Amino acid sequence: MVGYDEKQTQLTTGQYALAGATSGVVTRLLLQPLDVVKIRLQIQVEPTNKKITTGPISKYRGLFQSLNVIANEEGIKALWKGHIPAQLLSITYGCVQFASFEALTKLAWKIISHEKYANLKPATHFICGGLAGCCSSVIVQPIDVLRTRLVAQGEPKVYNSLYQAVRAMYHENGLRTFYKGLVPTMMEIFPQTGMHFAFYTGLQIIWKDYINSLVDSDVSATESLFCGAMSGILSKIIIHPLDVVKKRLQIDGFAFREGSVVPAHHTTQSGGMLHCIKNIARNEGILGFYKGLKVNIIKGASSVGVSFMAKNTVNLQCPQHPDAFLVEDYRAGDMVCPECGLVVGDRVVDVGSEWRTFNNEKSVSDPSRVGAAQNPLLGGTDLSTMIERGAPGKYDMDGYSKMHNRGGASGSDRSLLQAFREISVMADRINLPKNIVDRANTLFKQVHEQKSLKGRSNDAIASACLCIACRQEGVPRTFKEICAVSKVSKKEIGRCFKLTLRALETSVDLITSGDFMSRFCSNLRLPMPVQKAATHIARKAMDLDLVAGRSPISVAAAAIYLASQASEGKKSQKGK
């Protein structure tokens, strides 16, 4: 997709510029001979209509005839005349055009409401494309004038090198020489570039509505090439007369010199754009404005089509779900389609700030460059590496000074790490969520810093903290359940449980039968009506003081048994 789209994975401005530059280099290398023929056809002033005036027959009369004449008179290399400035023009123009177009469409997307943006997409792309083309043209106009003059010179050459050409053009009329034809260029480039993007967007809509409904295959490359080629043809046909005027103005004065392919007696210096238009109409007729049109159509279809195809190739997208928003996994270096799980791109480079951890959370702002994210509970001494000059005298095996320091963990932090791992293992065994693990880690750190449970096993304290965290988060677990996944006895967990509550000056709610009702019914795969009935039975028994002194687990099990017996899906007492 060309233009800003919130559903698409967005590249950086540099990547969009790289896409434009790459497409420009490839197309320019292949199509430079067509560009040479087009310019030769446009700048020759022999009339195409003999009824208007008399004169010699045109030297260049078509694509293949022109290629043959240039090759015979000037050699095969002449077909690539001005190739170096043409490549500079293509690279610069492609970079600025695609980068500025993406920036302008993104700005338009933010200003215009999303519904209006979707309905006005072709018109928006026309305006943004035209402005992007104007920005590019102002920057590359000197290169374009230089390229045109190098292509226009015949044998013997007027300019033998780029340096000589730049120097001679500057002495001719200063910097103004490099901006000859800028007015018709701007008049040409705004609608032309705008039509490139507008026609491309409109043709894409038609393609997706009709072609994709008939052919169920990956046609993204074909779609980009076809829509780009058609947009190039349509825009070239409309704008070609202005291109002829621009080329005539760019060689103004140069055509009279010896070595020009344009005979001096057939060239008149123009007094500006309007004077140039009058001369062409008077001496060559209306068809004079369409010299080189066929070659321009072939060149435009090829260059624009390849440019859009190359640009879209840089945009990562799933071939089966092109509109899906790709998920960025910088830990694995992958771009994954959320619809089908396809890894669209691997070895993806994180284009964000260099000084960051490999953490997907945007809120992390520590200066660590490699390794896991720093744990705030460890006091900043984890496994991350800080990029800084090492201690004096630290060298590697090759004798180079080490430029980093490995943060060393203190004994206190090592104890915390071991306890945190134990809490995480116990939580995994009984399927506890991460928020409970985090709360248990925080409780253990508080106890560890207060040193109020000296002499007690860290494993017992960790088990007690996990039990307290479960109570505080509303998913209580019994001492028996915690004991089953820990390394200490149920009695020791109970003692540490009470001591921890006293040391932290906190409390937990008492366990009731309702705390187990949902979990037990879910494990037994009982329907919701049975769970509601069991909850009502347990609450009624407590109100009537029938279960005083009984274990909440026993009360919950009895209530579920009674409720299931009253329903169709009966459960045995052993099942409870």
Q: Which of 75-89, 172-186, 214-228, 381-395 has the lowest mean pLDDT?
A: 381-395
- For residue 444, the model assigns a pLDDT of 92
Task: State yes or no: cis peptide before 156, omega within 30 of 0.
Answer: yes
DSSP states of 242-304: HHHHHHHHHTTTGGGSTTBSS-GGG----SSHHHHHHHHHHHH-GGGGGTTHHHHHHHHHHHH
Locate CATH 2.20.25.10 in the chain. 315-348
Does residue 177 surpass a pLDDT of 50?
Answer: yes
Locate CATH 1.50.40.10 in the chain. 14-48+57-313
Does residue 103 surpass a pLDDT of 60?
Answer: yes
Partners of 404 in beta bridges: 387
- For residue 336, the model assigns a pLDDT of 77
Does residue 403 surpass a pLDDT of 70?
Answer: no
Does residue 357 surpass a pLDDT of 50?
Answer: no
DSSP states of 157-170: -S-SSHHHHHHHHH
Locate CATH 1.10.472.10 in the chain. 411-504, 516-566
- Split at pLDDT 50, 70, 90, the class of 392 is low
pTM above 0.75, yes or no: no
Contact by Cβ (8 Å): 90, 25: yes
Residue 357: CB atoms within 10 Å: 18
- For residue 465, the model assigns a pLDDT of 92
- Split at pLDDT 50, 70, 90, the class of 311 is low
Q: What is the pLDDT of residues 268-306, one digit of tens each?
A: 455 677 888 888 888 888 888 888 888 888 877 877 777
Mean local confidence (pLDDT), 145-162: 73
Does residue 132 surpass a pLDDT of 80?
Answer: yes
Q: Which of 48-57, 138-147, 513-522, 546-555 has the lowest mean pLDDT?
A: 48-57
Angle, CA of 371, 374 and 378, to the nearest 5°: 130
Cα–Cα distance between 233 and 241 in angstroms, integer? 14
- Split at pLDDT 50, 70, 90, the class of 356 is very low
DSSP states of 9-65: PPPPHHHHHHHHHHHHHHHHHHHHHHHHHHHHHHH----S-TTT---PPPS--SHHH
In sign, the C-alpha dihedral spanning 393, 394, 399, 403 is negative
Q: Which residue, 240, 245, 134, 249, is CA-closest to 180?
A: 249
Contact by Cβ (8 Å): 167, 143: no
CATH class (in words) of the domain with range 315-348: mainly beta
Q: Which one of 3.30.390.50, 1.50.40.10, 3.30.70.2740, 3.30.750.24 gives the CATH number of domain 14-48+57-313?
A: 1.50.40.10
Record: fold of 516-566: Cyclin A; domain 1 (1.10.472)
- For residue 128, the model assigns a pLDDT of 83
Does residue 417 surpass a pLDDT of 50?
Answer: yes
The mean pLDDT value of the chain amounts to 73
Cα–Cα distance between 6 and 125 in angstroms, integer? 15
Cα–Cα distance between 440 and 468 in angstroms, integer? 7
Cα–Cα distance between 349 and 346 in angstroms, integer? 9
Residue with tokens 């340096």: 163
Contact by Cβ (8 Å): 354, 369: yes
If you average pLDDT over each of 12-26, 67-81, 387-401, which comes out highest?
A: 67-81
Alpha helices in 286-329 (DSSP H): 293-314
Q: What is the pLDDT of residues 114-124, one digit of tens each?
A: 666 666 777 78
Contact by Cβ (8 Å): 413, 438: no
Contact by Cβ (8 Å): 240, 289: yes
CATH class (in words) of the domain with range 411-504: mainly alpha
CA atoms within 13 A on the CB side of 565: 11
Q: What is the pLDDT of residues 191-200, one digit of tens each?
A: 777 777 778 7
- For residue 372, the model assigns a pLDDT of 45
Q: What is the pLDDT of residues 198-208, one digit of tens each?
A: 787 778 777 77
Partners of 153 in beta bridges: 260
Q: What is the pLDDT of residues 312-344, one digit of tens each?
A: 655 566 767 665 666 666 555 567 777 777 777
Contact by Cβ (8 Å): 503, 468: no
Residue 420: CB atoms within 10 Å: 20
Does residue 393 surpass a pLDDT of 80?
Answer: no
Residue 104: CB atoms within 10 Å: 21
- Identify the residue with better confidence: 85 or 329: 85
Q: What is the pLDDT of residues 418-466, one digit of tens each?
A: 889 899 899 888 888 888 998 999 999 988 888 888 888 888 999 999 9
Cα–Cα distance between 136 and 143 in angstroms, integer? 11
Q: How far is CA 407 from CA 359, 371, 390, in A?
A: 19, 12, 11
Give the percent of the chain with pLDDT over 90: 2
Does residue 501 surpass a pLDDT of 80?
Answer: yes
- For residue 368, the model assigns a pLDDT of 44
| Straight-line distance from the first to the last Cα atom of the chain, in angstroms, rounded to the nearest whole number | 59
Structure tokens at 143: 């290169």
Cα–Cα distance between 194 and 190 in angstroms, integer? 6
Residue with tokens 């390394």: 487
